[in-house]
Amino acid sequence: MKVVAMPIEVVAWFDKEGIPHPVRFRVTTKDCEEKVVKIHKVMTSEMEKLAGNVMYIFNCMSVINGIERGLQIKYEIDTCKWILFKI
């Protein structure tokens, strides 16, 4: 997987403990077009503390351009921002 670290907009639901569960996200490509990607399966989810920033990391499977690919998205708790980290 290649590190891209792009900001994304995510549709997610939160359980009673406040843990997010991503459903789909929208990303702006290099051609300035917006693409919506549905998350088919969350393979793993874990919490990471890096340089004082607490983040949830989700390793997911999605179909992009007709090809099933693995990707990693991160949710930063303090700023409530989502990042497409690896694709």
Q: How far apart are CA 37 and CA 54, in angstroms?
A: 25
Residue 65 has pLDDT above 90, yes or no: no
| Domain count of the fold of the chain | 1
pLDDT at 30: 84
Q: How far apart are CA 9 and CA 15, in angstroms?
A: 19
**What integer is the mean pLDDT of 51-62?**
95
Domain that holds residue 14: 3-86
Confidence of residue 1 (pLDDT cuts 50, 70, 90): confident
Q: What is the pLDDT of residues 7-55, one digit of tens each?
A: 999 999 999 999 999 999 999 988 889 999 999 999 999 999 988 899 9
Q: Which long-range contacts (CB under 8 A, 24 or more apart) does 36-39 make?
A: 37/62, 37/64, 38/62, 38/63
Burial class from Cβ neighbours inside 10 Å (0-12, 13-18, 19+) for residue 5 reads: exposed
Q: Tokens for 64?
A: 């992009």
Confidence of residue 59 (pLDDT cuts 50, 70, 90): very high
